[in-house]
Amino acid sequence: MLLSYDEFQSNTAAVLATIREACRQAGRNPTEVSLLPVTKTHPAEAVDYVRRHGGLPAVGENRVQEAAEKRPLTSGGLRWELIGHLQSNKARQAVEVFDRIQSVDSEKLVGVLAKAASTRPAPYPILLQINAGLDPAKFGADPDQAARLLEAALAQTSLRVEGLMTIAPLSDDPDVARRTFSHLRELRDQLAHRFQVPLPELSMGMSGDLTEAVAAGSTQVRVGSALFGRRPSAP
Ligand SMILES: *Cc1c(COP(=O)(O)O)cnc(C)c1O
């Protein structure tokens, strides 16, 4: 069951306050960190809550099919971002359904996406997903392969690489998330320097580790359960 709009609104206020406090502690400006509400497994009404709230320009979904079915049921006005693993055979549909894909993690996928995006008027925005915590349970390119992956993506004129994304390993120890996020930040700094590209977006931090992510330089936290409550099923 979806929570009420009032509950969503108070959850959102609490998450935004947590982000502001994390920014204050890190000496950062809160305008540098955006909140991406993650609406996966929730009905289209959850997306309309985000729209009604205002000030939150996009939503995150982790499955192409689910988003393709849900998006036409919403009132529009938001950007949709793919944050879940993408198989090459779904790449073409993903480019149609989503406004940005954060989960680009292989050279093969770069090639397929570039082809799918080639008829569009403007370069299609992507992030490269890096397994910065070296977690065998997570998708994402190996940090060792990040330079090759970036080089392949930069060679595609139909794609625009806006930055990097990571998911920290599940752990009770906040140091695991801290190390993962610092690693992604350092990798971004190195790659930006080496390839002379800005890579401004660092998509990192979720409900359980967003304070650590903001401290390490996150520019976007992807938050589901802290806004919408526990998900009906864990996909
Ligand atoms: C589900 C999901 C999130 C949100 O997770 P919460 O713990 O519910 O905040 C963030 N990022 C990705 C990639 C996800 O799949």
Tokens, residue 20: 């502001």
Pocket test for ligand 1, best of 8, 12, 62 (most atoms within 8 A of CB): 62
Mind listing the pLDDT tens digit for each residue in 115-160? 999 999 999 999 999 999 999 988 999 999 999 999 999 999 999 9
The pLDDT of residue 69: 98
What pLDDT band is residue 230 in, cutting at 50, 70 and 90? confident
Q: Pick the atom of ligand 1 nearest to 83's CA.
A: 13
What pLDDT band is residue 188 in, cutting at 50, 70 and 90? very high
pLDDT at 233 over 80: no
Tokens, residue 72: 């036409």
The pLDDT of residue 143: 97
Report the alpha-carbon distance of residue 130 to residue 186 in Å, rounded.
Answer: 12
The pLDDT of residue 137: 87
Q: Which amino acid is at 162?
A: E
Report the alpha-carbon distance of residue 146 to residue 128 in Å, rounded.
Answer: 8
Homologous superfamily of 5-228: Alanine racemase (3.20.20.10)
Report the alpha-carbon distance of residue 164 to residue 109 in Å, rounded.
Answer: 15
- Higher-pLDDT residue of 174 and 1 is 174
Mind listing the pLDDT tens digit for each residue in 96-107? 999 999 999 999
The pLDDT of residue 170: 93
pLDDT at 229 over 70: yes
Residue nearest ligand 1's atom 10 by CA: 222
Contact predicate 132/183, CB 8 Å = yes
Mind listing the pLDDT tens digit for each residue in 51-105? 999 999 999 999 999 999 999 999 999 999 999 999 999 999 999 999 999 999 9
Mind listing the pLDDT tens digit for each residue in 191-218? 999 999 999 999 999 999 999 999 999 9
Report the alpha-carbon distance of residue 168 to residue 204 in Å, rounded.
Answer: 8
Pocket test for ligand 1, best of 83, 135, 138, 203 (most atoms within 8 A of CB): 83
Q: Which of 73, 70, 68 is nearest to 90 (CA)?
A: 68
